[in-house]
Amino acid sequence: MGALSHLIIPNFALPRLDYHPSYGLPRFNSPCRRSNSARVAKKLLLSAATAKRSPDVDFNDPDWKSKFQKDFERRFNIPHITDIFPDAIPIPSTFCLRMRTPVSEDFAGGYPSDEEWHGYINNNDRVLLKVINYTSPTSAGAECIDPDCTWVEQWVHRAGPREKIYFRPEEVKAAIVTCGGLCPGLNDVIRQIVITLEIYGVKKIVGIPFGYRGFSDKELSEMPLSRKVVQNIHLSGGSLLGVSRGGPPISEIVDSMEERGINMLFVLGGNGTHAGANAIHNECRKRQMRVAVVGVPKTIDNDILLMDKTFGFDTAVEEAQRAINSAYIEAHSAYHGVGIVKLMGRSSGFIAMHASLASGQIDICLIPELHFNLHGPHGVLRHLKYLLETKGSAVICVAEGAGQDFLQKTNAKDASGNTVLGDIGVHIQQEIKNHFKGIGVPVDVKYIDPTYMIRCGRANASDGILCTVLGQNAVHGAFAGYSGITVGICNTHYVYLPIPEVISYPRLVDPNSRMWHRCLTSTGQPDFI
């Protein structure tokens, strides 16, 4: 993100599983068990990463569990306006569904109803972060804190409207900004934020054009927003406000917010954008500004920690089916046909995995989390030869971040600070052509990259619902006085999470998860190592 890229917490350098030591766990002789041992080691590595955030935890201490829970509660306690303004006085909420029209300034102190409404969330409501009680680190998908896989309850804040709010609607100027790349559902979130703000009684709502750039570029004017403006924007893809990567220094963004009188900021973006949002939140606190900064995770790759999924992901998987089906028809219709589909996923292979499962037409699925060989007795090309001999055709699905070790490193960065990736799809296409030409076997290879077609599409029904609820809960969180938070879905419930806890490193596909095992069962592919 240019000036904001330095704010991102460095990613954990998780080694490839086939290179990982066993960390004292018994080694096994069979290839399947060796792989399982490495997976267990990876789980313990991730647990160690968690423990690093809790430096006082000693697993030999009989009270370590309660200490860990207290530390977890501390880390996941979400920032509130009363942390900086302890004398802040809440007022009765202006949000109540007994009213069917937005509140006016006449009701800024409450809603015009004598009846008690039971639709509010208690501030002490919590959602359980992990719901499976794993009893062994060797269990498929096990997420363990200690080597014995002890069950530890971890609770996070439930999202939703509160009975007391800390902002008077008539004094609020709310701004929305969309950063990074396009993603299905951006307009849906914008629309619902605006609608919910108006229900609270907010009159001043603006959009900041073209990401964080819009705070500093004098040629870009903020866009007034209202329900009338956003009523139908969810019917098309893209972002009404535009997007861009990078942006000015944080101090300039906060200066601009002060000048404009913005005291609620809703930021839609991925890890880098959220790092910027957290820095804005911290700078506002440093300046003693009464501002709520709330994020809505936007990543089509589904690589945000602790959340079931992020918006745009379901649409991406659904739209990927069209490309996969086209690749299948091309391959199936040709003599020794091979179809290659490259899907999004810089560091996480969720789209490729789920698209492969959904289509049922993929023979080989390659993801960034797992190393694979192209050549050799167990390589992709050897298995592809087997598929052509037995099936007559094959379809390969590859995530964009997979196999980057095969490509020449450029060290180039985009405006968000992300490494510019080589095109693994083109590389595999050329390797297939060269290999089969070398062994005298004719092959017809078709390569499809639907990335921008998928990113620009309209959200499907599943994502539309997710976007609607995320937008609503973002506004509820801001009015409740929370800042430096992001909203997400966890175990089917909507929650508020502190931004630093979700941007530590990308969420990855667990190669020992049941979902990856299901993908392998569907494709029938070997390990390629």
Which residues carry out catalysis? 301
Determine whether the annotation assigns residue 134 to a binding site.
no
Q: Side chain identity at 130, as an amino acid letter?
A: K
Determine whether the annotation assigns residue 250 to a binding site.
no
Determine whether the annotation assigns residue 337 to a binding site.
no
Determine whether the annotation assigns residue 271 to a binding site.
yes
| Residue carrying structure tokens 């086939």 | 18
Determine whether the annotation assigns residue 299 to a binding site.
yes
Structure tokens at 232: 């139908």
Determine whether the annotation assigns residue 389 to a binding site.
no
Determine whether the annotation assigns residue 400 to a binding site.
yes
| Residue carrying structure tokens 């091309």 | 330
Count how many Cα atoms sit within 13 Å of the Cα of residue 243 in the half-sphere of its side chain.
Answer: 25
Check if the beta carbon of residue 525 is closer than 8 Å to that of residue 511.
no
Determine whether the annotation assigns residue 346 to a binding site.
yes
Determine whether the annotation assigns residue 344 to a binding site.
yes
Determine whether the annotation assigns residue 245 to a binding site.
yes
Cα distance between residue 356 and residue 14, in whole Å:
24
Determine whether the annotation assigns residue 160 to a binding site.
no
CB-count burial class (<10 Å; 0-12, 13-18, 19+) for 160 = buried
Strands 292-297 and 264-269: parallel
Determine whether the annotation assigns residue 101 to a binding site.
no
**Distance in angstroms between the alpha carbons of the first and the last residue of the chain:** 36
Check if the beta carbon of residue 352 is closer than 8 Å to that of residue 372.
no
Closest C-alpha among 302, 290, 227, 225 to residue 261: 290
Determine whether the annotation assigns residue 452 to a binding site.
yes
**Interacting residues of 244 by C-beta distance below 8 A, sequence separation 6+:** 179, 210, 211, 212, 213, 415
Cα distance between residue 219 and residue 212, in whole Å:
14
Determine whether the annotation assigns residue 349 to a binding site.
no
Extract the annotated binding site for Mg(2+): 271
Extract the annotated binding site for substrate: 299-301, 344-346, 400, 452-455
Extract the annotated binding site: 181, 245-246, 270-273, 299-301, 344-346, 400, 452-455
